[in-house]
Chains A and B, each alone.
Chain A
Amino acid sequence: MVVSAAARPGFGARWRAEPAFAVALTLLWLLLAFFILYPIVALVARVFIDQGQFTSATIVKVLTDRNQVAAFRNSLLLGTLVGVGGTVLGFGFAFAATRCRLPPTVVRLIDIAVLLPLVSPPFTTAIGYIFSFGARGLITYDLLGIRNVSVYGLTSTMTAETLTYFPIAYLTLRPMLAAIDSNIEGMALSLGASRWRVFRTVTLPLCTPGLANAFLLLFAASLADFATPLILAGNQFPVLPTQAYLQITGLFDLSGGAALSLVLLMPAFVVFIAQRFWVGRRFYVTVTGKGAGQAPFDSVSPIARVLLVAACVAVTLFIVYLYALLVYASLVRAFGANDTLTLEHYRAVFTEGLRVLFDTLIIAAFATPLGGLYGVVMGYLITRRRFVGRTAMEIVSMIHYALPGTIVGIAYLIAFNDPPIVLTGTAVILVACYVFRYGPTGIRTTMALLQQVDPSLEEASHSLGAGTGTTFRRITLPLVLPAFFAALGVMFIRSMTAISATIFLVSISWTLVTVRILENMTELRLGMAAAFSVIVVIIVFIVIGAIGQVLRLLRTPGSKPATGLLAA
């Protein structure tokens, strides 16, 4: 290895030999301490310390409040339902895509439709849902003629969240199903098992770790989701993130909101542990080596195939329908009341909404390259360098990625609101929040990519006479370039669409499109909310297309495509 564990030089020698490395390491640790650890410490301190004294009063008050306990219970219930529903749906889609021999174009169209909720602002499905099933909804009001309907509550929140997050399950389960050597299934079939039996006794058990993982991912996503409940849950179904938000923005009770967010931390932490130590360990079981593309035999009976494909197409069409409603709502004077076509809402977006749009784009323009760079540098250091505190650095870098956005937002609000460091009201706090919250996807992709790059490549370069610097520049860097561009993509999408953390951090001087959309929703300016959403989705799709193009250009002939990196 270029960096041999045995040849680890002393610390001082290392600093003198590689000043750039030493400077980068020091700088990164300072940033991690300042933007990740310090806010969390400030949050905990805010809850447990009052005027220099330890106090449990704040947390006890929250834990004994019936309303908040109900919110906690609701959050867990919602997370479980979304986790189960989304995993089943995602598995169905993944199974259809890998086992039903669908024409590639059909799979491609389903992929695009399924990607929609993933790359839109997280509450877009909820808005579409309101347009369909709300008081003036297309189905409830126009089709069924139901008056005074209430769309708010568990069912609609759950449905909207399931539709929003099941693509995560689809994207994690699909490669897993594709990687199961179909000869294993063929073998079971040849031994006389029925197709259903093969599915039950071979395919499903092989997928169990993946299913568990998908469930945990969806559970965590639902737990952290703030926007969908804000739009759809209503007063009867309070959940923790919205309660924390209302506590702070409605009651101006920062400590109470902080305490609520800490309650949210408990299930989030359990999920994190379960993923790392339980699911993570079982994963390699299913990696059977060569991934056979399509099944070489009919692993699904004709009837099951028709039913499954029909169900997937129905769900896909429903998603498309919700987005179509959104587009329609953005183009009519007043959805449900006045169906005259108009571009009024778009004009509003580009006049009074223009500043918000610019604010968001400027913040994204800073967060994207910074986050991409941060991800690649960290990923490289963690995988390819040996230094004291490497594992600690990896874990710390992942904290804000793993935490629900509400916690991170409140923590930043508390940490950077008062002297000595006042960042609230600036763009810096928004950019920092995005970089350290979404940069870790870049760390992950870089690490994954580098783990596939055998160290012997760097040794080969070394044996051919190249030094460490040349090797990094000419071999390592080109190989992690796809990860860098993928990280740019993720950073940009998130900067345009995220809300749960940054809603606490916007100000009069700097605000975000997503926040403005939510405001429009509460002010019942639905047309403008829809127009804004459409614009955001279009911008995001253009950027994804561009990044995909770059990834294709970077690809060398014969190698595996690097797409899919964006799904991280």
Chain B
Amino acid sequence: MNTPAPAEAIGVTVAHVSKRFTHAVKGEVHAARDVSLDVAPGEFLTLLGPSGCGKTTTLRMIAGFEMPDEGSIAFGGHDVTRLPANQRGIGFVFQNYALFPHLSVFDNVAYGLAVRGESGSEIGRAVGDVLALVGLAGYERQFPAQMSGGEQQRVALARAIVIHPRVLLFDEPLSNLDARLRVQMRDEIRALQKRLAITAIYVTHDQEEAMAVSDRIAVMNRGSIAEIGTAETLYHSPRSRFVAEFIGRANLVAAQVIAVRDGYVDVAALDRQLAIPRQGSALAAGTRCLLLLRPEAIVLGEPDATSGTLAGTVRTRTFLGEKIEYTIACAGVTLQVVRHSQGVTDAFAPGAAVGVQIARGAGTLVADASQGDSP
């Protein structure tokens, strides 16, 4: 099968871009504030954040549908800030697919090629190839309204990639699909992007989806980029409380730095002194901060009065197949804990006393923005 020949991948640079809207209800909205991004050639970057945080606005400025109030955007080093969308060489996949309802699948996919003035035989070949690539060979004569959501999604994808875009943009492309199809499609999108080696920018509010498809994730909050990094970095060592809570599930407990040692920071938390792996710049002794413990980093066992173990009480227990989720009351706070159900025989039923331990090397210190004395 012929895949569309990968064009030379280019990087995308977004520099200090801002955008304000006058909203009918909310008044003046600062949809994007000083957003800067550096997307490497061939990279898959995701903009992740809660609804209304400015992801779509940022993406639409990259596409050329909106003009930034301030800042600049460059494709492969060339400034495109004022270039209209039809001259940027982008492929855009819309949330609602935006398939042309009066055109067949073939004509939908052929549209961008026809606009470029390619010959009929050339178009026929390219459309056939790309439809085969997305698994829709034989669908040429159908119309969008006759297709399922997943099929429409593939047509939208085919239409966007057949023109060999320099940058592929997605705005929540999977949000109208059911859960199972969503997982399948996100894997396909990811595989296709790697195969075609196209620079891709993807918008979603679903953190799991973001982690599954992205090389890097840019977490957005209220129009600004909160943090950029790989899924692992953002999960294990977020720098802000917002990112810690938005990606994965988080136990955040109040902590105070006692001393900074080689590779470790001693903190007071959960009525104990705990040694937390040291990451990046050290916090000065005495600083109040938050200790982030992911649910899988907390180990449950039989109650045990020895020094390393905390006493806790099971509040709830939820069996979810491959895992069991607990909430545990411990040292005045409620902790979320998860463990694999494989081989687990103990019940830890609600009301039972348990021993709580922190896994070795787990835990991250996060600045507590509310304290005002962040590192």
A and B from one assembly? yes
Binding site for B on A (CB under 8 A): 1, 4, 6-7, 454, 456-457, 459-467, 470, 474-475, 478-479, 556-560
Which of chain A's residues has its CB closest to B109's CB?
Answer: A464
Task: Find out whether the CB atom of B143 lies under 8 angstroms from the CB atom of A459.
Answer: no
Q: Assuming A558-B144, A559-B145, is B67 touching A464 (CB within 8 A)? A: no
Interface string of B141-156 (1 = CB under 8 A from A): 0111111000000000
Closest CB-CB distance, A3 to chain B, in whole Å?
11
Residue in contact with A464 in the complex, picked from B96, B102, B112, B143, CB distance below 8 Å = B112
> Contact partner of A463 among B67, B85, B116, B146, CB < 8 A?
B85
Of the stretches B3-11, B87-95, B188-196, the one at the interface is B87-95
Cβ distance B30 to chain A, nearest Cβ, rounded Å: 14
Complex alpha-carbon distance, A96 and B323, angstroms: 55
User: Closest B-chain residue to A557, C-beta based?
Assistant: B143
Interface contact B98-A457, CB-CB below 8 Å = yes
Minimum-distance CB pairs A-B, first 4: A558-B145, A464-B112, A558-B146, A456-B98
CA of A297 to CA of B144, assembled, Å? 32
Which single member of B21, B65, B67, B91 contacts A459 (CB below 8 Å)?
B65
- Please indicate the chain B residues that have their CB under 8 angstroms from the CB of A560 in the complex: 145
Q: Could you say which of A7, A462, A475, A557 contacts B86, with CB atoms under 8 Å apart?
A: A462
Chain B 113-147, CB within 8 Å of chain A: the 1/0 string? Answer: 00110000000000000000000000000111111
Question: Hey, what's the 0/1 contact readout for B3-44 against A, CB within 8 Å counting as 1?
Answer: 000000000000000000100000000000000000000000
- Name the distance in Å between A560's Cβ and chain B's nearest Cβ: 8
Q: Which residue of B lies closest to A482 (CB)?
A: B102
A96 to B116, CA, bound (A): 54
Given contacts A6-B21, A557-B145, contact A459 B100 (CB under 8 A): no
Cα–Cα, bound, A30→B116 (Å): 39
> In the complex, which residue of chain B has the Cβ closest to the Cβ of A477?
B102
Establish whether residues B98 and A557, one from each chain, have CB atoms under 8 Å apart when the complex forms: no
Closest CB-CB distance, B275 to chain A, in whole Å? 53
What are the residues of chain A within 8 A of B91 when measuring CB–CB?
Answer: 463
Write the nearest CB–CB distance from A416 to chain B, whole angstroms: 42
Residues of A contacting B267 with CB < 8 Å?
none
Count chain B residues whose beta carbon lies closer than 8 angstroms to a beta carbon of A.
34
Q: Are B111 and A558 in contact (CB under 8 A)?
A: no
B216 located at the interface, meaning its Cβ lies under 8 Å from any Cβ of chain A in the complex: no
Contact assessment for B102 and A463 in the assembled complex, using a CB-CB cutoff below 8 Å: no
Contact B65–A1 (Cβ < 8 Å): yes
Contacts of B96 in A (CB 8 A): 454, 456
Chain B residues with Cβ below 8 Å from A461 are 100, 111
Chain B min CB distance to A525 (Å): 50
Q: Which of B98, B147, B163 contacts A454 (CB 8 A)?
A: B98
- Interface set of B (CB-CB < 8 Å, partner A): 21, 63-67, 84-87, 90-92, 94, 96, 98-103, 111-112, 115-116, 142-147, 159-160, 163
Closest chain A residue to B162 by CB distance? A464
Contact A463:B90 (CB < 8 A) given known A456-B98, A457-B98: yes
CB pair B163–A464 under 8 Å, yes or no, is yes
Neighbour of A460 across the interface among B21, B92, B102, CB < 8 A: B92
Q: CA A558 – CA B87 in complex, angstroms?
A: 33
Is B98's CB under 8 angstroms from A459's CB? yes
**Contact assessment for B115 and A466 in the assembled complex, using a CB-CB cutoff below 8 Å:** yes
Assess the A456–B94 pair: CB atoms within 8 A.
yes
B102 touches A479 (CB 8 A): yes
Contact A465–B115 (Cβ < 8 Å): yes
Residues of B within 8 A of A556 (CB): 101-103, 143, 145
- How distant is the Cα of A233 from the Cα of B159 in the complex, in angstroms? 65
How many Å from the CB of B229 to the closest CB on chain A?
29
Assembled-state Cα–Cα distance A146/B66 (Å): 77
Are B98 and A460 within 8 A (Cβ)?
yes
Q: Are B115 and A459 in contact (CB-based, < 8 A)? A: no
Are B98 and A465 closer than 8 Å at their CB atoms?
Answer: no
A-B contact pairs, 30 of them (CB 8 A): A4-B67, A6-B66, A7-B67, A454-B96, A456-B94, A459-B92, A460-B92, A460-B98, A461-B100, A462-B64, A462-B65, A462-B84, A463-B64, A463-B65, A463-B90, A463-B92, A464-B86, A465-B86, A466-B112, A466-B115, A467-B86, A556-B143, A557-B142, A557-B143, A557-B146, A558-B145, A558-B147, A559-B101, A559-B143, A559-B145
Residue in chain B with minimal CB distance to A464? B112
Interfacial chain A residues near B67, Cβ < 8 Å: 4, 6-7
A465 near B146 (CB under 8 angstroms)?
no
**Distance to closest chain A CB from B371 (angstroms):** 39
Q: How far is the CB of A22 from chain B (nearest CB, A)?
A: 20
Closest to A560 in B: B145
Residue of A nearest to B82 (CB): A7
B366: shortest Cβ distance to chain A, in Å? 37
Residue numbers in B under 8 Å from A6 (CB-CB): 21, 66-67
B116: chain A residues at CB < 8 Å are 465
**Chain A residues near B64 (CB, 8 Å)?**
462-463
Which residues in B have their C-beta under 8 angstroms from that of A465?
A: 86-87, 112, 115-116, 163
A456-B96, A558-B143 known; A479 vs B112 contact (CB < 8 Å): no
Q: Do B145 and A464 have beta carbons less than 8 Å apart? A: no
Given contacts A478-B102, A556-B143, could you give 15 more A-B pairs where the C-beta distance is less than 8 Å? A454-B96, A456-B94, A457-B100, A459-B94, A460-B100, A462-B86, A463-B85, A463-B92, A464-B163, A470-B115, A474-B111, A556-B102, A557-B143, A557-B145, A558-B143
Q: Which residue of A lies closest to B146 (CB)?
A: A558
User: How many whole Å from A480's CB to the nearest CB in chain B?
Assistant: 10
- Bound-complex Cα distance A457 to B94 (A): 9
Q: Roughly how many angstroms separate A418 CA and B115 CA in the complex, as a whole number?
A: 54
Q: Which chain A residues lie closer than 8 Å to B65 at the CB level? A: 1, 4, 459, 462-463
Contact of B159 among A4, A7, A464, A474 (CB under 8 A): A464
Tell me, in angstroms, the Cα distance from A559 to B103 when the chains sit together. Answer: 11
In this complex, the member of B65, B143, B163 whose beta carbon has the largest number of chain A beta carbons within 10 angstroms is: B65
| Nearest CB in chain B to that of A459: its residue | B65
- Chain B nearest CB, measured from A14 CB (Å): 15
Contact B86 A466 (CB under 8 A): yes
A556 and B103 CA atoms in complex are apart in Å by 8
Q: Give the chain B neighbours of A462 by CB distance below 8 A.
A: 64-65, 84-86
CB neighbours (8 Å) of B147 from chain A are 558
Most buried by B among A465, A470, A478: A465
Determine if B115 and A4 form an interchain contact, defined as CB atoms under 8 angstroms apart. no
Structural contact, A460 and B143, CB atoms closer than 8 A: no
C-alpha spacing A482/B367, complex, angstroms: 60
Contacts of A4 in B (CB 8 A): 65-67
CA distance A289 to B275 in the complex (A): 56
